[in-house]
Structure 1
Amino acid sequence: MRALLCALGLTIQALILLAVRSPLAHFPAIYLATFALFCISVYAAGRVRRGGWWLIIAFAVSFRVSLLLFPPFLSDDVYRYVWDGRLQTLGINPYSFAPNSPEIAAYRDESWPLINNRDIPTIYPPLAQVGFLAAAAAMPEPIALKAAMTLFDLLCLFMLGKLLEMRGESRIHAIVYAWHPLVLFEISSSGHCDPIAIFFLLLGTATIIRARSGKSNEAGQALIWLSASFMTKLFPLLFAPFFLTRTPRRQWLWIFPLPLLLMAIYIRPGSGLFESLRTYASIWRFNDSVFALAHLVVGDLQTAKLICGAAVAVATLWAATRPWRIEDQIMFGLSWFLLLSPQLDPWRLMWVVPFLVMRMRLSWLVLTGTIVLSYHPLIVQGPYEQWVESGVLKLLEFVPFVAVLAAESILRRRRAAADLSSELTRTSTRDPES
C-alpha cells in the first residue's frame, strides 16, 4: 500500500503543478481529479500498517512548497494582508484608513490595484494583524504572507497528529487534512489566514482533552487559545460554550486578557473596524444554502439573518449540553454556522477538514469536493465584478451533499434502533422472568 500511496502522491503533485500553470477555466476539472485521487489516498492510507506518517508529511510539504512558488490565482485577499502589514511597519493603524484614503496615497505601490474592497478599512481582527505585521516586517510580498500561513498550516497538521494519538488512533488519518486539495489551494496558493485561527482552536481542544483526562489541571489555558482563535477570525467565539462548560468557573476570566490587550493596542477612537464589520455583515452574500431558503421564505435579508443567527445560537447552546466529545460539539456548531451563513467561501468550508480527520462525515467530505463549483463566477466574470451565481451549478454543488447527509441520517437512525433492539434482547435473555 505504501507504493500505491507514493504513486498517488506523485500524481497529485503533477496535478497541482498543472493547476497553477493552466488557464483558470480548467481549474474545476483539475481540482475534481485531484480530489478523487485524494479520496483514494485516504482509503489507501488506512491500510498502511506502519511507516506511512512520514511519507504523508513529505508529500504534504512538497505540495505546499510547490504552490508557494506561484502567485495566488483564486483569491486576492493576500494583497490586503500585505497592505495591512506594510502599513503597520510604517506606523500606520490599518483600521484607521481605507486603502483608497488620500491620507495614505503616498504609500501605494504596484500591488495596490490588486487589493479588494479598497473603500473600507480592514475587517481582519487584531491577532491576524499581528501575523500580517510579522510577515511584512520580514518581506512585504505575498510569498512571505503565504509562507507564514503555510507554516501555521503545517502546525495544524502536527497538532492533528497529536490529537489522534491522544484519542488512541493512528496519526496516518491526518492525511485527510495533509493532502486535501481544498486546504492546499486555499492556504499555500491563496494565502488565507484561517490556519492561524484553526491552529489555536486545535491547541485549545488538545488542552481541554488533556485537562479532562487528568493529565493537566490548566483547562483555563484552553480559553486563552480559544481567544487567540477568535481574535484571528471572529466566528470561533461561537464555540465558547463548549470550552466554558469544561472549565472551572474561577478560570472563565482567562478568556478576556488577550482580546483586551489586542484591542487596547489596535482599536482607537474613530477606528474603522466596526464600520467595516457592519458593512461586511450587511451586504456580503455568496454561495449560501439554507440561508438562501430562509431569505426566500421571509423575503427580507436582515430578518433572515436574525432568524438564522438565532438558530445557530440555539443549536450551539443545545450542543453544549450534550455528552459529546468537544471536537464533535465544535463540528456540530460549525456545521450549523456554515449552512445558515449568508456566505460560504471555499476557505471557510476548509474549517471542517480538521474535524473530518477526527470523525469522518462523508456528506461534508463530498461538499469539500463540489465546493469548487462556487468558483464559477470568478472564472467567467473576473475578480472585480458583481458576481452573479449560477443556480444550476449551485444545485450541483449542494444536492450531492444533501443526498449523502440524508443517507447518513437514515443509516444512523437504523443503527441506533438496531443497537436498542440488541440491548433489549440481551436484557430479556439475562432476566427471562421480567
Structure 2
Amino acid sequence: MRAALAILPLAALTALTAFAVLSFDTFERQPSNAFFGRSDSVPLLACVAGSWLLFAAAVLAVRRLRPRGATVVIIVGAVAIGIAALVGPPNTSTDSARYAWDGIVQNSGESPYRYTPANGALADLRPTWLFPEPVISGGEPDCVGERIVGVKEVGSGDLICTALNRPAVPTIYPPLAEIYFAAVRLLVAPEVGYIALQVAGLVVSLAVTALLLVTLQRRGLPVWWAALWAWCPLVASEAVTNSHVDALGAAFALLATVLVTGGRRIWGGIALGAAIAVKLIPVIVAPPLIRRKPLGVVVAAVGTFALLYVPYVLSTGIGVIGYLPGYLSEEGYENGSRFALVPPFVPGPVATLLIALALAVVAGLVFWKTDPASPWTGQLVLVGVTLLLVSPRYPWYALLLVPFVAMTGRWEWFAVVLALTLRQFTPPTAVFAIALIVAGVVVAIASWRRASPEQRATIRRLGAPWRRSPSKPT
C-alpha cells in the first residue's frame, strides 16, 4: 500500500514529463506543431507547477518506505522518468547541437577551438540535421524550421542554415566537456541526431542516483533523499531532454566530495579537477573540501585540470579560451548588469565588486565553519548563494545544486531552483529579482528552524555588530 502511494504520483509525473517534452517548445514563439507555443505561457506554467507538485507528492510518499523498498522505487522511478524525458528533442536550449558539432569536429581530427561552425573549412563535416539546406523564399535563400538560424559562411559569404546557437563564434566549453562530446558522438554516425547526447545525459543522471544511494546508505542517512535528484523535474528536463553537460560536472563534483570524505584525497582532487574541466563552475564546491589537509586535493585538482588542457593547447594555443570572454560580456557579467539582486542604479563595476565581496565572505564563512567529515551542507550553501547572487538566466546551472540538496535533505533550497526556472517565462528583471528574494527568505526561514541552539547563538553573535544595541552576554 505504501509503495502504491509512491508509485501513483510517480506514474503521473512520468506521464506529465513525456507530455511536456512533446507539447512545449520554448524556441517557438508562435503556435507550431507543439500543442502550446512559447507565447502561451499559462499551460507551460501549469505543466511546470504540476510536475513539481507531483514530485513533492512522490517524495513524501517514498519517505514512508523501508530503505530496501525505497531504493527499488527510486531506481524504477528514475529510469521511467528518464525514458519519458527522451521522447522528444531538446525544448529549452540548443546547446546540445553545439555539443554534437564539437564532437563531430573532434572525431574528424580537428580541434573544436580552431574554427567556428560557420567556417567553410569544416563544410564537409556538416550533417543535414545540424545544417539543413536553405530554401528559396521570394526568390532569395532563407532558413526555416524550429531551432534553425541563418549565418554567412566564413570564406564564401553564402548563407548557411544551422541548429547551432552562436555559429559565428568558437566553442566555449572546457576540455573534459569536449572529450565527453567526442566520446558520445564516436559511438554513433554523424547523421544521428539529439538522441545520442540525451541518452548519455540519462546515463549520467542514473549514475548520480546510484552514487547518492550508495553514499547515503553507507553514511547512515535516509536513502529516500536520493529521490530529490532522481525524480527532480529539473534533472529530467535539463540533464536528459536538453542534455546539458552541467549534469556531468555535478556528477564529478559529487564524486570528488565522496572520495575526499572517504579519505581518498588524491582521487578526490582528480575528480574535482575533472568537474572544473567540464564547466568551470564546480570550482565553488572546493572550499569545504580543502578544510583539512588541502595540499593533496589542490595539487591533484590543478594537475588534472591542466593536464586535460594540454592536448588542446598544443593544437590550438591561446584559442582554447574560446568564446568565454565574449559570453561573459554578452550575459552582462562584465558590466554588472546580470546581477538581478543589485539595484539598477548601482554602476556595473561596483555591482561586480559587491557580488564578488559577498561571495568571498560566504566562502570564507563556509570554509571556517565546515565539518571536513561532512562538507555537504557547506557546499550546498556555497552553490545556492552563488546562484542567488549571480542570478544566471539559465535554470540548468542549478543542476550543480541538486546533488547537495539530496545529500543533506534540505529541500528548501529547491526554492532557488524554482526561482531560476521562472526565467523560462522571460519575466521582467524586477519579477525575477522578487523570485530570488522569496527563495532566499524561504531558505533563511527553513535554515533557522533547522539550526540548533548553539548555531542560533553563533548567528546572533555574528549579527551583533550590525545591531543598534549589542546583545547582553549570556
* TM-score greater than 0.5 by the shorter chain: yes
Q: Does the 8 Å contact 2:70/2:223 carry over to 1? A: no
2 CA distance for matches of 1:346 and 1:357?
18
Tell me the secondary structure at the aligned position of residue 342 of structure 2: helix
The corresponding residue for 1:20 is: 21
The 8 Å contact of residues 373 and 393 in structure 1, kept in 2 or not, is answered as no
Cα shift at 1:393: 4.3
Structure 1 residues 253, 58: closer, same or farther in 2, change over 3 A? same
1:247 alignment partner, one of 293, 312, 315: 293
Equivalent residue number for residue 90 of structure 1: 108
**Structure 2: which 5+ runs fail to align?**
24-35, 132-161, 459-474
Where structure 1 has 5 or more consecutive residues not aligned to the other structure, the ranges are 212-217, 378-388, 421-434
1:178 correspondence with 2:227? no
Please say if 1:7 is aligned against 2:8.
yes
Conservation of the 8 A alpha-carbon contact between 2:216 and 2:222: yes
1:70-103, Cα deviation, whole Å (9 max, x unpaired): 1111111000000000000111111111111233
CA contact (8 A) 2:249 2:400 kept: no
What CA deviation, in whole Å up to 9, does each residue of 1:275-314 have, x standing for no partner? Answer: 511111222149x9992233625222x4422331243233
Aligned match for 2:196, one of 138, 144, 162: 144
In structure 2, relative to structure 1, the CA distance for the partners of 1:102 and 1:314 (3 Å cut) is farther
For structure 1, which segment, 248-257 or 124-133, has the greater mean C-alpha deviation from structure 2 after superposition?
Answer: 248-257
Partners in 1 of 2:103 and 2:235 — Cα distance? Answer: 23
Partners of 1:74 and 1:35 in 2: CA distance: 17
1:39 paired to 2:77: no
2:247 aligned with 1:199: no
Deviation readout 1:294-349 (Å, 9 max, x if unpaired): 3625222x442233124323321331121432111211211222122152421111
- Aligned pair in 2 of structure 1 residues 408, 340: CA closer, same or farther (>3 Å)? same
Distance 1:283 1:419, change over 3 A: closer
CA distance in 2, matches of 1:353, 1:124: 22
Shift of 1:125: 0.6
Secondary structure of residue in 2 paired with 1:272? helix
Kindly indicate whether the alpha-carbon contact (under 8 Å) linking 1:35 and 1:181 is maintained by their aligned counterparts in 2: yes
1: distance between equivalents of 2:187 and 2:81?
23
**One of 157, 164, 168 as aligned partner of 2:209:** 157
Query: Pick from 404, 408, 412: which aligns with 1:363?
Result: 412
Cα distance in 1 for residues equivalent to 2:340 and 2:172: 24
Which range is displaced more, 193-202 or 227-236?
Answer: 193-202
> Cα RMSD over matched residues?
2.6
Alpha-carbon contact 2:171-2:322 (below 8 Å) kept:
no
Query: Which residue number in structure 1 is paired with residue 361 of structure 2?
Result: 314
Contact 1:76–1:114 (8 Å) recurs in 2: yes
1:262 is matched with 308
Query: Is 1:104 matched up with 2:105?
Result: no
How many residue pairs get aligned? The number is 401
For residue 299 of structure 1, the aligned residue among 302, 327, 347 is 347
Task: Give the CA deviation at 1:136.
Answer: 0.8
Q: Relative contact order, CA 8 A, sep 6+: which one is greater?
A: 1
Deviations 1:127-181 (A, max 9, x none): 0111100111112432111111211111111111122123212322211111111
Contact in 1 for aligned 2:331/2:338 (Cα 8 Å): no
* 2:377 aligned with 1:328: yes
Deviation for aligned residue 1:270: 4.7
Q: Tell whether the 8 Å contact from 2:285 to 2:382 is kept in structure 1 after alignment.
A: yes
Matched, 1:131 2:180: yes
Which structure carries more helix by proportion? Answer: 1
Distance 1:193 1:58 in 2: 24
CA drift at 1:396: 6.1
Q: What does residue 119 of structure 1 align with?
A: 168
Residue of structure 1 aligned with 2:446, choices 390, 408, 412: 408
Amino acid at match of 1:192: H
* CA–CA distance in structure 2, aligned partners of residues 394 and 292 of structure 1: 7
In structure 1, C-alpha distance between the alignment counterparts of 2:236 and 2:117, rounded to whole Å: 29
Aligned partners of 1:219 and 1:246 also within 8 Å:
no
Paired residues of 1:165 and 1:171 also in contact (CA < 8 A): yes
* C-alpha deviation, 1:372, in angstroms: 3.0
TM-score normalized by structure 2?
0.78
Aligned residue among 275, 283, 293 for 1:229: 275
Q: Is the 8 A contact 2:247 2:399 kept in 1?
A: no
